[in-house]
């Protein structure tokens, strides 16, 4: 594990000044561009769908990373913003109300509304710290889900537990991504088209996140994360900056949610449970909180690996024992839980933490949390 | 009026169960500053083990009360052993780790236990056997069953015993010292690690009792039951001021009452707009509004920004 991380770290900044060689970028670009074709040809459409979901999770994890990783605010209800974005798309572009708004209107609106919900969550929780914040955000997420689940009576808005179906797919003008696209020379299958759109969105979000980290606000977030009182003493308006973190993070979630609805063409409250929030949080922490490449790695790993187990566990058992002993689905979750415990035990700062953070941890066993107290093994 | 009283009774029963579970959260938090996310699953394991023991012994024809007692005698040690293992292998190695690491580890344990339970007991709902004759008494137009009376008394008794243990015994003193400052407590000769383990184990014993009570009162046990229950109990602990024993009891009772009354009256209050399926949001709405005005919970001390 450590070796892999070191290798990845070397790959990410091979030059002295920390920049990548241009050919690394070019290679990466080509690889990402041909990826869907290879995956579709080699592994089938199931895996292409999974890849698309992985990209959505990258966006979500980067959004949550702003709140948890940059600003150090533990948000356990993050999926609520994803839900807001998804349902907004579902309501404005489906037969539910007979509305069929264009993507260019819904996505920015979704980002805005999700950001507003972020402020709504942020405002009452400004004074809360640590674990109190965790439980309140968790409650907020549950409240949103319960409302989505029950807003079918007396006025049917969300269609309750059945969810909303027959949602318009992502479309540019009259070109819908749900149908194969005929470009004369090649025909781009629907899933591949979605992949490219998601890849572009994810790249944009990565770019924004990278710029944010180094911006004035980003430094203010880091200051608050490390020491809120000192940050305040330095003249940082902690209230506004914290609210901004919630709103910014929520915006990313809202966009990802909209894309999700436009991809899946079906939304139901089931997709937005607490486990999903926890999953995204795990991606951030497991990958390396606050470190953008780490978070992307975490998101990809936690989407692809469990799916891999689900696909492989059944056939392998069939081949070895001639029958399926353990349901692949529960095996997947079992291994997921186990790996969370093991990774945290052996790499508590994540699989790929930022070099700076890693140094801090190596240098001194920092004692900054009540959980980290000087108790020695007996 | 009788409906009101009935809701109060239901609320107190629910609240005493919440309180028992909340104690497990709050004790661990008080000492380690850790949200023991897996605690709800320990309750679930307690309920399912109790269910298994009782259904296995049902053909022997022993009186149901005795069965319940035997079930508790098996379920409690199982839960305690489980908590010991969790503490030793999932939490203890992480005491010096960054703040979020133990939380993620706890979430991992929770998912692990849930899926193990699903493999052992399956996905179906198990009907919990009756442990007491279905007697009930009328008070002021409302009914209270014998089971409810026993639940309330048992919970109250257990909590009184716990309060005595923590306030009056040397062990309790050591626990309080560890919660105050583990380093200094260790210097004073308190075996800090043993005290922490003990805290987990006591919490697990309470969880086993709570599991049996939930099973008996709602006649059902299920691999997923620990999740929401744990969440509510944790909410109760935070409501009362996490880390505070009395706070957890108060928070549990309050939450039970709010849920029960809220669920019963929400339709009247909103003119039929919101139904009782919104019951679950009360817990969280109350929590949020309490924390806005008292960020440390109802009975929490005003914590200084920096320790």
Cα B233 to Cα A135, A151, B197, distances in angstroms? 11, 26, 21
d(CA B283, CA B232): 7
Whether pLDDT at B118 is above 50: yes
For B277, the closest of A136, A140, A150 (CB atoms) is A150
Closest residue on chain A to B111 (Cα): A337
Token pair 């991504």: residue: A177
Does A142 sit within 8 Å of B99, measured CB to CB? no
Please report which confidence band the pLDDT of residue A314 belongs to, taking 50, 70 and 90 as the band edges: confident
Per-residue pLDDT, A221: 94
How does A119-150 read in b/e, with b if 16+ C-beta sit within 10 Å? eebbeebbebeebbbbbbbbbbbbbbbbbbbb
Q: What DSSP designation does A124 have?
A: G
d(CA A41, CA A32): 15
Cα atoms in the Cβ-side hemisphere of radius 13 Å centred on A360: 14
Cα A78 to Cα A83, A114, A208, B45, distances in angstroms? 9, 11, 19, 29
Burial of B285 (0-12, 13-18, 19+ CB in 10 A): middle
For B96, the closest of A125, A337, A365 (CB atoms) is A365
Rounded (10°) CA dihedral B175, B178, B180, B186: 140
- The verdict on residue A292 lying in a domain is no
List the one residue out of B119, B120, B126 whose CA is nearest residue B221. B126
**Residues facing B142 on adjacent strands:** B139
Per-residue model confidence as pLDDT tens digits over B4-44: 888 899 999 999 999 999 999 999 988 888 888 899 999 99
Does B295 sit within 8 Å of A128, measured CB to CB? yes
List the one residue out of B233, B226, B232, B229 whose CA is nearest residue B44. B226
Which residues in chain A are closer than 8 Å to B281, comparing Cβ atoms?
A: 142-143, 146-147
Whether pLDDT at A253 is above 70: yes
Spatial neighbors of B272 by CB under 8 A, at least 6 apart, are A154
ipTM (interface predicted TM):
0.85
- The verdict on residue A242 lying in a domain is yes
What average pLDDT does chain A have? Answer: 85
- Contact indicator for B28, B36 with CB cutoff of 8 Å: yes
d(CA A304, CA A310): 10
Percentage, residues of chain B above pLDDT 90: 52
Kindly provide the residue ranges of all beta strands, DSSP E only, lying in B110-151, ordered along the sequence.
126-127, 136-139, 142-145
List the one residue out of B251, B233, B240 whose CA is nearest residue B297. B240
Whether pLDDT at A376 is above 50: no
Cβ-Cβ contacts under 8 Å between A and B: the total is: 179
Range of the domain at A254: 47-270
- The verdict on residue A121 lying in a domain is yes
Cα B185 to Cα A59, A371, B173, B196, distances in angstroms? 46, 16, 10, 12
B184: its two tokens = 């200094």
Whether pLDDT at B193 is above 90: yes
Q: Which of B98, B272, B298 to mutate to test the interface with A (most CBs of A within 10 A)?
A: B98
Q: Are strands A181-182 and A99-100 parallel, antiparallel or unpaired?
A: unpaired
Please report which confidence band the pLDDT of residue A299 belongs to, taking 50, 70 and 90 as the band edges: very high
- Contact indicator for A266, A276 with CB cutoff of 8 Å: no
- Contact indicator for B219, B107 with CB cutoff of 8 Å: no
Mean pLDDT of A142-154: 85
Whether pLDDT at A369 is above 50: no
Per-residue model confidence as pLDDT tens digits over A100-112: 888 888 999 999 9
Does A282 sit within 8 Å of B107, measured CB to CB? yes
Please report which confidence band the pLDDT of residue B184 belongs to, taking 50, 70 and 90 as the band edges: very high
d(CA A6, CA A4): 5
Per-residue model confidence as pLDDT tens digits over B269-293: 766 666 667 777 888 888 888 888 8
- The verdict on residue A374 lying in a domain is no
Residue A190: alpha-carbon gap to chain centroid = 23
Query: 3-state class of A164 per DSSP?
Result: strand
Which residue did the predictor score with more confidence, A314 or B142?
B142
d(CA A133, CA B104): 16
Mean pLDDT of B157-165: 93
Span of A243-247, A293-297, B96-100 with lowest mean pLDDT: B96-100
What are the phi and psi torsion angles at A296 (to 5°)?
A: -60, -45
Range of the domain at B87: 20-225
Cα atoms in the Cβ-side hemisphere of radius 13 Å centred on A300: 11
Which residues in chain B are closer than 8 Å to A125, comparing Cβ atoms?
A: 288, 291
Please report which confidence band the pLDDT of residue A277 belongs to, taking 50, 70 and 90 as the band edges: very high
Per-residue pLDDT, A12: 56
Spatial neighbors of B123 by CB under 8 A, at least 6 apart, are B223
Min CA distance, B188 vs chain A (Å)? 13
Please report which confidence band the pLDDT of residue B214 belongs to, taking 50, 70 and 90 as the band edges: very high
Does B98 sit within 8 Å of A370, measured CB to CB? no
Whether pLDDT at A74 is above 50: yes
Which residues in chain A are closer than 8 Å to B121, comparing Cβ atoms?
A: none
Q: Which of A69, A80, A371 to mutate to test the interface with B (most CBs of B within 10 A)?
A: A371
CA angle B272/B277/B283 to nearest 5° reads 110
Q: What is the maximum span of chain A, computed from C-alpha positions, in angstroms?
A: 72
Does A374 sit within 8 Å of B183, measured CB to CB? yes
How many domains, chain B?
Answer: 1
What average pLDDT does chain B have? Answer: 88
Residue B90 CB neighbour total at 10 angstroms: 22
Spatial neighbors of B64 by CB under 8 A, at least 6 apart, are B129, B130, B131, B132
Per-residue pLDDT, A371: 45
**Relative orientation angle of helices A45-65 and A190-214, to the nearest 10 degrees:** 20
Per-residue pLDDT, A185: 80
Which residues in chain A are closer than 8 Å to B192, comparing Cβ atoms?
A: 375
- The verdict on residue A369 lying in a domain is no
Per-residue model confidence as pLDDT tens digits over A46-64: 889 999 999 999 999 999 9
**Residues facing A176 on adjacent strands:** A171
Percentage, residues of chain A above pLDDT 90: 38
Which residues in chain B are closer than 8 Å to A127, comparing Cβ atoms?
A: 292, 295
Closest residue on chain B to A358 (Cα): B98
Mean pLDDT of B208-227: 91
Does A333 sit within 8 Å of B90, measured CB to CB? no
How many domains, chain A?
Answer: 1
Which residues in chain A are closer than 8 Å to B287, comparing Cβ atoms?
A: 135-136, 139
Per-residue pLDDT, B51: 94
Residue B190: alpha-carbon gap to chain centroid = 27
d(CA A86, CA A91): 9
For B97, the closest of A129, A146, A344 (CB atoms) is A344
The alpha helices in chain A, defined as continuous H runs, are 2-12, 22-43, 45-65, 79-92, 103-122, 130-150, 190-214, 216-226, 228-233, 238-264, 274-288, 292-321, 328-346, 355-363
Whether pLDDT at A211 is above 80: yes
Per-residue pLDDT, A312: 81
How does B129-139 read in b/e, with b if 16+ C-beta sit within 10 Å? bebbeeeeeee
Min CA distance, B270 vs chain A (Å)? 12
Q: Which of B39, B103, B267 to mutate to test the interface with A (most CBs of A within 10 A)?
A: B103
Residue A31 CB neighbour total at 10 angstroms: 10
Per-residue pLDDT, A374: 46
Whether pLDDT at A365 is above 60: no
Which residues in chain B are closer than 8 Å to A157, comparing Cβ atoms?
A: none
Please report which confidence band the pLDDT of residue A195 belongs to, taking 50, 70 and 90 as the band edges: very high
- The verdict on residue B241 lying in a domain is no
Which residues in chain A are closer than 8 Å to B107, comparing Cβ atoms?
A: 278, 281-282, 337, 340
Which residues in chain A are closer than 8 Å to B244, comparing Cβ atoms?
A: none
Whether pLDDT at B222 is above 80: yes
Please report which confidence band the pLDDT of residue B306 belongs to, taking 50, 70 and 90 as the band edges: very low
Closest residue on chain A to B267 (Cα): A154
Whether pLDDT at A375 is above 60: no
B47: its two tokens = 């309920």
Which residues in chain A are closer than 8 Å to B243, comparing Cβ atoms?
A: none
B169: its two tokens = 């015994």
Give first-to-last CA distance, chain B, whole Å.
Answer: 49
Whether pLDDT at A13 is above 80: no
- The verdict on residue B238 lying in a domain is no
Per-residue pLDDT, B75: 96
Q: Which of A365, A369, A376, A378 to mutate to test the interface with B (most CBs of B within 10 A)?
A: A369
DSSP B248-265: HHHHHHHHHHHHHHHHHH
Per-residue pLDDT, A174: 75
Min CA distance, B184 vs chain A (Å)? 10
Does B292 sit within 8 Å of A337, measured CB to CB? no
Q: Which of A154, A372, A374, A376 to mutate to test the interface with B (most CBs of B within 10 A)?
A: A372
Does A147 sit within 8 Å of B291, measured CB to CB? no
Please report which confidence band the pLDDT of residue A11 belongs to, taking 50, 70 and 90 as the band edges: low
B134: its two tokens = 């279905």
Whether pLDDT at B232 is above 70: yes
Which residues in chain B are closer than 8 Å to A326, comparing Cβ atoms?
A: 119
What are the phi and psi torsion angles at B138 (to 5°)?
A: -100, 130
Mean pLDDT of A170-195: 82
Which residue did the predictor score with more confidence, A175 or B30?
B30
Whether pLDDT at B225 is above 60: yes
Does A132 sit within 8 Å of B291, measured CB to CB? yes
Which residues in chain B are closer than 8 Å to A285, comparing Cβ atoms?
A: 100-101, 104
Whether pLDDT at B107 is above 50: yes
d(CA A151, CA B103): 33
Per-residue pLDDT, A377: 42
- The verdict on residue B77 lying in a domain is yes
- The verdict on residue A173 lying in a domain is yes
Per-residue pLDDT, A335: 84
Mean pLDDT of B120-125: 90
Query: H/E element holding B211?
Result: helix B192-218
Closest residue on chain A to B273 (Cα): A154
Does A74 sit within 8 Å of B119, measured CB to CB? no
d(CA A304, CA B81): 34
Q: Which of A179-183, A319-323, B132-136 has the highest mean pLDDT?
A: B132-136
Which residues in chain B are closer than 8 Å to A348, comparing Cβ atoms?
A: 94, 97-98, 101
Q: Which of A78, A344, A359, A365 to mutate to test the interface with B (most CBs of B within 10 A)?
A: A344
Q: Are strands A93-94 and A99-100 parallel, antiparallel or unpaired?
A: antiparallel
B213: its two tokens = 């009570």
Q: What DSSP designation does B91 have?
A: I
């Amino acid at each position: 594990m450590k070796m892999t991380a070191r290798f990845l770290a070397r790959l990410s900044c091979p030059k002295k000044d920390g920049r990548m060689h241009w050919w690394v970028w070019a290679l990466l670009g080509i690889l990402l561009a041909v990826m869907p074709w290879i995956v579709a040809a080699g592994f089938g459409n199931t895996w292409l769908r999974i890849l698309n979901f992985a990209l959505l999770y990258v966006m979500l994890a980067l959004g949550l990373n702003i709140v948890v990783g940059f600003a150090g605010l533990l948000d356990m209800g993050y999926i609520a913003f994803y839900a807001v974005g998804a349902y907004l798309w579902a309501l404005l572009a489906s037969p539910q109300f007979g509305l069929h708004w264009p993507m260019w209107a819904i996505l920015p609106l979704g980002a805005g509304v999700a950001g507003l919900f972020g402020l709504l969550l942020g405002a009452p929780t400004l004074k809360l710290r640590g674990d109190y914040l965790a439980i309140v955000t968790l409650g907020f997420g549950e409240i949103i889900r319960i409302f989505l689940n029950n807003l079918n009576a007396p006025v049917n808005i969300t269609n309750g537990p059945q969810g909303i179906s027959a949602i318009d797919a992502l479309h540019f003008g009259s070109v819908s991504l749900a149908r194969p696209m005929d470009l004369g020379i090649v025909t781009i299958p629907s899933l591949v088209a979605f992949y490219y759109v998601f890849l572009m969105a994810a790249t944009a979000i990565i770019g924004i996140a990278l710029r944010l980290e180094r911006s004035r606000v980003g430094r203010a977030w880091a200051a608050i994360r490390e020491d809120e009182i000192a940050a305040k003493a330095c003249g940082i308006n902690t209230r506004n900056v914290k609210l901004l973190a919630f709103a910014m993070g929520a915006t990313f979630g809202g966009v990802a949610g909209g894309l999700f609805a436009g991809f899946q063409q079906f939304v139901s409250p089931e997709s937005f449970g607490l486990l999903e929030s926890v999953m995204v949080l795990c991606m951030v922490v497991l990958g390396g909180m606050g470190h953008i490449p780490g978070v992307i790695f975490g998101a990809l790993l936690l989407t692809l690996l469990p799916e891999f187990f689900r696909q492989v566990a059944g056939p392998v058992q069939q081949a070895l024992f001639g029958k399926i002993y353990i349901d692949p689905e529960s095996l997947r979750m079992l291994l997921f839980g186990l790996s969370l415990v093991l990774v945290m035990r052996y790499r508590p700062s994540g699989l790929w933490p930022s070099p700076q953070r890693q140094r801090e941890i190596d240098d001194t066993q920092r004692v900054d949390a009540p959980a980290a107290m000087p108790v020695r093994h007996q | 009026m009788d409906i009101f009283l009935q809701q109060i009774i239901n609320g107190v029963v629910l609240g005493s169960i919440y309180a028992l579970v909340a104690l497990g959260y709050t004790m661990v938090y008080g000492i380690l500053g850790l949200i023991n996310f897996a605690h709800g699953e320990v309750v679930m394991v307690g309920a399912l083990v109790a269910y298994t023991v009782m259904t296995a012994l049902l053909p022997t024809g022993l009186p149901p009360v005795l069965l319940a007692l035997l079930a508790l005698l098996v379920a409690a040690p199982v839960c305690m052993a489980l908590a010991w293992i969790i503490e030793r292998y999932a939490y203890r190695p992480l005491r010096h780790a960054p703040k979020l690491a133990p939380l993620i580890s706890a979430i991992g344990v929770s998912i692990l236990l849930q899926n193990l339970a699903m493999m052992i007991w399956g996905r179906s709902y198990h009907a919990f056997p009756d442990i007491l004759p279905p007697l009930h008494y009328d008070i002021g137009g409302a009914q209270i069953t014998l089971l409810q009376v026993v639940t309330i008394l048992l919970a109250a008794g257990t909590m009184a015993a716990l309060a005595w243990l923590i306030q009056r015994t040397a062990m309790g003193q050591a626990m309080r010292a560890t919660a105050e400052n583990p380093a200094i407590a260790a210097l004073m000769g308190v075996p800090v690690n043993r005290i922490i383990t003990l805290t987990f184990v006591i919490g697990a014993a309470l969880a086993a009792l709570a599991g049996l009570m939930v099973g008996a009162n709602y006649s059902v046990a299920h691999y997923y039951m620990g999740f929401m229950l744990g969440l509510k109990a944790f909410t109760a602990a935070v409501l009362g001021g996490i880390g505070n024993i009395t706070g957890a009891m108060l928070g549990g009772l309050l939450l039970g009452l709010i849920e029960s009354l809220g669920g019963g009256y929400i339709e009247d209050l909103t003119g039929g707009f919101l139904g009782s399926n919104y019951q679950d949001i009360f817990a969280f709405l109350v929590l949020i509004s309490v924390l806005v005005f008292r960020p440390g919970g109802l009975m929490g001390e005003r914590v200084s920004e920096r320790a």
